[in-house]
Amino acid sequence: MPSRSVTSGFCIIVPGMTKAGHPKRHSPKASRDGEPVIHPSAQLRNARLGRFTALAERVSFKDSELGDYSYVERHAEIIYAKIGKFCAIASDVRVNALNHPMERVSQHKITYRPNEYFLGKKLDAFFSAEGTFDVGDYGRRPSFPAA
């Protein structure tokens, strides 16, 4: 006996598919107007977020910039960084400024970030000039070595 398909009066909805069986085009959590999506548990201070960006749960994002279409996964800690467009930062990642003033008696941050310990103090000039860590394109065109 040949097999034939039987249709019934109900449909099965698969996650990620519409009732008509077509793939969904947008996540229900996605921003449709370009506004950043920020989880309520994320901590922000002096943050600059681009269009269609996202910060997941328990992200600490301080004194940093996040370029358009980039996102940061859960539990990440980012401070003093410039992250370019279309970057994906994994969960549990720490991004911090690279350079430390090696010529000083101590590399402790109190020598270049006294504002974290004393009211009215400002960032050291060394840290202000060299204190950010760039990730991704951040507005630059990639360059390739000459062959």
User: Which residues lie closer than 8 Å to 42 by C-beta, 6 or more apart?
Assistant: 55, 56, 57, 58, 59, 60, 61
Predicted model pTM: 0.60
The answer to whether the CB of 61 falls within 8 A of the CB of 43 is yes
Torsion over CA: 8, 10, 14, 17 (sign) = positive
Domains, the chain, in order of start with CATH, read 37-135 (2.160.10.10)
Task: Average the pLDDT over each of 6-20, 95-109, 112-126, 129-143 and give the range with the smallest value.
Answer: 6-20
Q: Tell me what pLDDT residue 65 has.
A: 93
Q: Tell me what pLDDT residue 58 has.
A: 96
Average pLDDT, the chain: 76
Write the burial class of residue 76 (CB in 10 Å: 0-12 exposed, 13-18 middle, 19+ buried). Answer: buried
Q: What is the pLDDT of residues 61-119, one digit of tens each?
A: 999 999 999 999 999 999 988 899 999 999 999 988 666 677 878 878 788 778 889 88
